Structure 1
Amino acid sequence: MNVFTGKERKWGSLALVGFIFTTLLAGCGSKVEPTKEVAGTPTPAAPAAATATPEVKKDPVKIVFWHYLTDRKDILTEMSKEFTAQTGIQVDIQLFGGDGFKEKTIAAAQTNSLPDILTLAGGPGDLAKFIETKSVMELGKESTDIIGKFPENIVKTYSYKEGNTYKVKDFGTYALPMDTNNMQFMYNKDLFAKAGITAPPKTWAEFLDAVDKLNAKGIAPFATGLGSWVGTSMTEPFMYALLGEEKLKATKQGLEPMVGSAWEKVLGIYAELAKHKAFAPGISTMDLPKAETLFANGQVAMIFDGSWAIGAFNQTNAAFKNYDAFLPPKPDGAVGDIKIPGGVGVPLVVSQGTKHKEETLKFMKFLLAKEQQQKYSASSFNLPANKEAAAAGGKLPDALVNFAQGMTSVYDSPIAFLGDTETVMQKGIQLIVLGQSTPEKVVKQMEDATKKGKAAVK
């Protein structure tokens, strides 16, 4: 047993005090983590670097574009890549060539699975069905900044107002044109120069004079597909000019007689052309591809054709460049303006169910802007819908520019014949060209066919 004396207790006490003091000093220099959080005492915040949430990188927006334009696959891909480079918005282009595209879009609409944007395969009646199921977006209010850049009569094609024949109740514009088309006369500048013709004819008298001059030089003046639907299309400008729109509508619907109402003058243009030996051999049964081959190879000086023919000429004879287009010449005795067949080539529509509305509309407007329209037209030989693209010229062939300017002369909507009247007229034109019938006989046959068609409707 240890026994401490008083002196020993004194030094022991001093040693204990020193140990405690030293321990306290050491504690002041070190960090002691609490083992238990005391209620009511806030825990000090950790440094920002230790608690910040790592930034999550968002995937880029991707919109889906369906189209059926096999011949324009490359240019659309190129334009989409340019759009992505400018905006960061990706575009998944899906091409569905051949038949079945229309049915595919109908099925997609029924299952609410349309892509963000697509080319419409069909006319205003087809689009009306998509509107009825609320599958497509009204674009008029969404596109006020660009809608004025298209010819008004073209925008009307896919616009629905009160009293529309398709019974669309949600009024508005539901498609915008990516390209357009119309039909005019085209002429070979070299052959015109050879015949001493310095400018395209503007009147019917000048047209016949050009025919005579071409014949005098041994040049076949004219060819087109009179053996097909083209017969009606070529006749339409003269219907509007010689009858006027109201009388044309009344006679086609059987409300007024055709006989004695200037229809004889309309068909009389073919009798005059035959008299002046305007037609290439075989014209009465000729189809349009045959006529296009003759024109592209310099075998005829003029053709009545659509703006799409420029691409056909390039495929047939890429060296053939020196040609241009002009509106049908106004005939003597005209009471109305020349109106030509034409309309929207490829309509663009946007899905009502798109999850990327802003990005999709931006892409649509990109495709329809002047620069892209010029690039698209120069590559595909299709007519630009944007008036600014056509007016700028430059990269576009002269004929394409003149076709584009002619869009203001396209009639708003066709006035249909009743019954078999159109077939009777087309056959009659062929017989007039062959000298086997007369305008008067054909008009009487057309009137009889109209009466039968009207009776059948009742």
Structure 2
Amino acid sequence: MIQPVRSALVLAATALLVACGGGGDDDGSGSASKSTGPVTIEWWHIQNNDPMKSVWADAVKQYEAANPNVKINVTVLENEAFKAKLTTTMQGGKVPDIFQSWGGGTLKEQVEAGLVQDVTEPTKAWIGDLNSAATGLYQIDGKQYGVPFNLGMVGVWYRKSLFEQAGIDAPPATWDEFLTTVQALKQKGVTPLAVGEKDKWPGMFWWANLSLRIAGKDALAQAGEDGSFDSPGFVKAGAELKRLIDLQPFQKGFLAAPWDGAGGEAAQIGNGKAAMSLMGQWAPSTYAANTKESEEVLADLGWFPFPTVDGGAGGPTEQFGGGDGFAIGKDAPPEAVDFIKFLVTSDVANKAGASGGILPVKKGTESSVTDPNMKSVLDARAQADFVQLYLDQAYAPAVGQAVNDAVQELFAGKASPQDVAGKIADAAKAG
């Protein structure tokens, strides 16, 4: 039996709480414990596109100016390159002082391996100033093992101009309407969907959303405990995904296309070669980074939540997504936590939110988000009463990998919906 870290996130609008004690917004210099000499921090992050790449770079300069004994070495990596490099580095027993984390089962394994610091004590004075649903993603057995900076959900981004070209007046609300929208786009010679299935997790988003809509959150929780991913709801989720795949809605070469980079999913949307993309709140900046027409694509974007499925167990206020945060390596100096504290102060969080790059988690900074599409995601976040964490992070890594691998085979026409459910169930039960 596997024991995943699964977050039933209660996402409700929260009022601004006044910071107290040591949790107030400072310049990053107020820490309960500090080193006595020069300090070097190794920071790995995946914000490899602007605006967040520049926001983080500016934050480093500001922190170093306020703390002249601290030097922060920044390693910026694309998502897949980060995962590969981190795995290799950790296998060698080394860990960056600060590194990207999504929480969940992967973080749990890192904690059990003794690779990550328990930061409950050094963060207790200010962690309550952050969205509790976001901080909960990094809690294991009642202890804090990471700090979030971003929280949103996965939905469908679309090019308004291509919808207009196909005569589509409004985004679809149900799965059947969505399939009709796909057919309408095809009839007008528009590629309906882009997917970067080389990276596997973009395809997982489709199966996971359908599983949440059809099998429901309780079935996902139960499957995490007993491995019952081969139950009827999950098989039907695969069958509905196959209905979509059979329409051949994706760009040519989608199985070899990455999410980010030349020829990838983001470039397809950014360059107007496909109408829709199922992706998280980070998508707009990545679309823009993959085209020379960045301002035009951002102005032409729309967003809608994943459609409901008639007769499914999941309702419209149950969503799929998660956030971004940082874990602290086992040998990191105390300044590493102090720097993370600085990254989530109102000053930095407001800049990040205003940039359109993230949906900040510091309470009271939600108003910094002014981009209409990002506000749509933020509003949906506030209305959601449950958000299922990404399946390749929610469960143990072996199970998450099985989900990604099996779903990719469905996209490739090499597995049936029953095969997909069975392979995931086998991996879960083996754990």
TM over 0.5: yes
Q: Quick one: which of 175, 179, 197 aligns to 1:204?
A: 175
Determine the structure 2 residue equivalent to 1:79. Answer: 59
TM-fit CA distance, 1:214: 2.6
1:348-367 counterparts in 2 under 5 A?
A: 349=328, 361=338, 364-367=340-343
Determine the structure 1 residue equivalent to 2:108. Answer: 125
- The one-letter amino acid of 2:196's match is G
Contact 2:43–2:73 (Cα < 8 Å) also in 1: yes
TM-fit CA distance, 1:303: 1.1
TM-fit CA distance, 1:455: 7.5
Determine the structure 2 residue equivalent to 1:143. Answer: 125
Q: Quick one: which of 160, 165, 172 aligns to 2:140?
A: 160
Determine the structure 1 residue equivalent to 2:352. Answer: 376
1:254 and 1:134 map into 2 onto residues whose CA distance is 27
Contact 1:179–1:347 (Cα < 8 Å) also in 2: no
Does residue 410 of structure 1 match 2:387?
yes
- Helix, strand or coil for the counterpart of 1:68? strand
TM-fit CA distance, 1:160: 1.9
Determine the structure 2 residue equivalent to 1:236. Answer: 208
Does residue 279 of structure 1 match 2:261?
no
Deviations 1:242-271 (A, max 9, x none): 112333455577765836x13343123234
Contact 2:242–2:410 (Cα < 8 Å) also in 1: no
2:400 and 2:55 map into 1 onto residues whose CA distance is 42
Determine the structure 1 residue equivalent to 2:71. Answer: 92
TM-fit CA distance, 1:301: 1.0
Higher CA-based Rg: 1
Measured at CA, do residues 128 and 301 of structure 1 come closer, stay the same or move farther in structure 2, by a change above 3 Å?
A: same
1:315 and 1:268 map into 2 onto residues whose CA distance is 35
1:300 and 1:156 map into 2 onto residues whose CA distance is 36
Contact 1:179–1:345 (Cα < 8 Å) also in 2: yes
- The one-letter amino acid of 1:325's match is W
- Helix, strand or coil for the counterpart of 1:208? helix
Unaligned stretches of 5+ residues in structure 1: 1-59, 162-170
1:37-116 counterparts in 2 under 5 A?
A: 65-69=41-45, 71=48, 74-82=54-62, 92-96=71-75, 103=89
Determine the structure 1 residue equivalent to 2:303. Answer: 325
Q: Quick one: which of 266, 280, 284 aligns to 2:237?
A: 266
Determine the structure 2 residue equivalent to 1:187. Answer: 158
Contact 1:285–1:430 (Cα < 8 Å) also in 2: no
Determine the structure 2 residue equivalent to 1:336. Answer: 314
- Helix, strand or coil for the counterpart of 1:262? helix
More displaced 10-residue stretch of structure 1: 228-237 or 174-183:
174-183
2:425 and 2:331 map into 1 onto residues whose CA distance is 45
More displaced 10-residue stretch of structure 1: 307-316 or 244-253:
244-253
Contact 1:120–1:349 (Cα < 8 Å) also in 2: no
- The one-letter amino acid of 1:143's match is A
TM-fit CA distance, 1:210: 2.5
1:331 and 1:217 map into 2 onto residues whose CA distance is 26
Measured at CA, do residues 301 and 92 of structure 1 come closer, stay the same or move farther in structure 2, by a change above 3 Å?
A: same
Deviations 1:191-240 (A, max 9, x none): 22333434322222332332243334332221212455122222101112
2:193 and 2:344 map into 1 onto residues whose CA distance is 36
RMSD between aligned alpha carbons? 4.4
- The one-letter amino acid of 2:309's match is P
Matched residue count: 365
Determine the structure 1 residue equivalent to 2:28. Answer: none
1:157 and 1:379 map into 2 onto residues whose CA distance is 24
Deviations 1:80-123 (A, max 9, x none): 555688x78875333245677784999788xxxx97xx445684
1:352 and 1:418 map into 2 onto residues whose CA distance is 28
Contact 1:284–1:430 (Cα < 8 Å) also in 2: yes
TM-score (norm 1): 0.63
Contact 1:159–1:173 (Cα < 8 Å) also in 2: yes
1:236 and 1:176 map into 2 onto residues whose CA distance is 25
1:6-17 counterparts in 2 under 5 A?
A: none
Measured at CA, do residues 418 and 270 of structure 1 come closer, stay the same or move farther in structure 2, by a change above 3 Å?
A: closer
Measured at CA, do residues 351 and 274 of structure 1 come closer, stay the same or move farther in structure 2, by a change above 3 Å?
A: closer
TM-score (norm 2): 0.67
Identity score, percent? 18
TM-fit CA distance, 1:415: 4.4
TM-fit CA distance, 1:297: 0.9
Determine the structure 1 residue equivalent to 2:362. Answer: 386
